[in-house]
Structure 1
């Protein structure tokens, strides 16, 4: 077993008052960075003005993100979502600093890590392992991952939950709701409470390692013997309420394929495989891994496979919603605006009696979003500006306050997954034949695999 090295980690604040204090400090940094002019812009946007462009200083933003990275948990997860929306809300410099939240969290110090290991495995926990790497190979909002090898030779990735994170989710979300109200992070007429409630449920699922293990095994059953992918197995004898033990898989970060060492056809094939998987998740599996973080995929050069990691955000989708999304996708592909409108009403994108100009604008936006599905020659994500066009149209509609309904909150995570898959294809500058996938997956989905005996 490797020896512990000096840690630069920061203890996770676990008590409610401590987390409230940290969030209060983060809020103070945010308010100081926005200043009087920024607060005026927020007030103006609440009265129906344009969305505010917050002129935060880079230094105040860095303090804000550092505070969230120390807290981990729900506040960091929501900060990551905020950082996805940097092009119009924040200045480019601030958006760049905010983006760091998507890639890092402070690890636990060794003393806190040892307390968790002793609590879960006992004081002689080290006897279970031939080798344990004390420096984590990854750290995120809920926990951190360590590489280990058991006495019987199994090479594992141990996902170890930060102490107190599960118990802090409810209070964190409540405090974030107050923060969102204070800084006007929802447009006029939109009630963000259902979305915060869905985020709260999702975070509780992510903190439930038994549920993640079950989701991972369900997902493995769906993927089956697909030669394009490898899904780690669960080691139940070393999994606990706060530790999830899985196969360790060696690979390179998926976005490294965008570099000069990989050719265009390699990038195209990788993006196509992942896009096919994304469509299968919704339209065949009914089980969607909704976290679009690029770090959840590894490329395995030795086998030319893609390793799929982290199933905490896996979300089961109701058959009725899948059916409506299928009708929506096919209507968009077929330029069937009547069908598009009917499915949009069923999903909640618009109401029966919403103003006609806004309805037509929404239908235009949905058809624009389906542009990659209609290109039978293969859609070139690297040359496309679809994200910019869809973002600006969608932002204006969202801020208009003209719609009488909002979609079910769990659709938020489906949107996030599809946007993440599109963004990865763009990062790889890949060409993907989505039109062919529509024919195979959306029009003629495969039946469910046989249940495990």
Structure 2
């Protein structure tokens, strides 16, 4: 059997496996929504998590993504899929040697002083090995899993099917543009040369921001399927929290996270679109190590202006200004009633940025960030005929929800409004556009396809 034939049969097996999982979701949702058949969604969701958690590739990443977009999937599924931590089984050493030879040449081992045979971490699209360069520098080497382009296509077809079935049952959020955005960002993540450029971009944008560490890609050791960067020493966020850090330490880390996400957005129109727990480490000094730069979104200044306009509308309880903000964002044809429904979500997101006092990101007894509000908004949108979110909205909302969940887990108590105003001070759309163009050019980030 040729390598191509093996790849084709592997993709067929994967299609069969994921089709079963996706088909199971569709059947169970349809049974309950149309025929009134009650199913144990929590148990089925656990089964789904078990299937996807053992698959390398984007299906797991897609599941993590969908779990952070409120009401794209039923809450039972979203809760289980949110727990996926990208612990796919690693590739064996024999394969690693072949792949490294294909990327750096047959004498690749001579380019390292040492190279760990065992993967130090497994992600959804690749795995990380620790190595030492000839000059003694410790580096992380991320190697992409085999056949990822074809696997991305196969998995996205299954996701499209699942979303289409759910849409027939529930049209509160019309997901067409969500799928387009998801597809394009995932395909960009396959290009590790792009990721290296985006890593350089974040290094430049956050150079002077305290408590934020960005890895640096190593020239000559990076290809489209291989990225080598300096090794950042740090502890995973979950393990760090188990050590019971002080309130001051947790607040310090939350402050770094806030700045790492929103300084690039409000000053350059750029956001890190993957606020996943596996992408954070805490350094020995208590600073933030920010990892994984595959999912980066670049926005026009107009969109950022709309975000600030909605903040002002919520602050002043100004419905007319809110309507203008949604129009700037790209929500077309929405009614006044739908604007009022959407404003429930906007108030939830913006409230900590408006109240000038020290507080947790979410007040009350709820442990699931935003779920109760999202369900209320979902019911309102369903009642009013549904809305079609613009594709630019997807990663922005995902970042807000994902970061909010992390701030809750940290138990951070900060003056979020003060942090926000420091970040947006002297905002100017023309200056943002100019800074963005220069930063992208210097870092060598290619234009979106």
Structure-2-length-normalised TM-score: 0.85
- The match for 1:346 is 328
- Over the aligned positions, Cα root-mean-square deviation in angstroms equals 3.1
Report the CA distance shift for 1:103/1:198 in structure 2 as closer, same or farther (over 3 A): same
Structure 1 unaligned blocks of 5 or more? 1-12, 46-51
**Count of residues paired in the alignment:** 428
Structure 2 unaligned blocks of 5 or more? 444-449
Deviations 1:74-102 (A, max 9, x none): 322222234447999254xx766534423
In the alignment, is residue 364 of structure 1 matched against residue 319 of structure 2?
no
In the alignment, is residue 22 of structure 1 matched against residue 8 of structure 2?
no
For the 8 Å contact 1:145–1:157, the answer to whether it is kept is yes
Deviation, structure 1 residue 345: 2.6
Deviation, structure 1 residue 293: 0.7
Moved more, 214-223 or 21-30: 21-30
- The match for 1:235 is 218
Report the CA distance shift for 1:249/1:412 in structure 2 as closer, same or farther (over 3 A): same
Report the CA distance shift for 1:24/1:131 in structure 2 as closer, same or farther (over 3 A): same
Matches within 5 A, 1:44-443: 55-56=40-41, 58=43, 61=45, 63-84=47-68, 89-91=74-76, 97-182=80-165, 187-188=170-171, 191-302=174-285, 304-349=286-331, 351=333, 354=335, 356-381=336-361, 383-384=363-364, 385=366, 387-400=370-383, 402-403=385-386, 405-443=387-425
Distance 2:231 2:327 in 1: 45
Report the CA distance shift for 1:79/1:178 in structure 2 as closer, same or farther (over 3 A): same
Structure-1-length-normalised TM-score: 0.84
For the 8 Å contact 1:341–1:363, the answer to whether it is kept is no
Report the CA distance shift for 1:315/1:95 in structure 2 as closer, same or farther (over 3 A): closer
Distance 1:74 1:377 in 2: 41
Deviation, structure 1 residue 176: 2.3
Bigger RCO of structures 1 and 2 (CA < 8 A, at least 6 apart): 2
**SS of 1:245 mapped into structure 2:** strand
Report the CA distance shift for 1:439/1:63 in structure 2 as closer, same or farther (over 3 A): closer
**SS of 1:307 mapped into structure 2:** strand
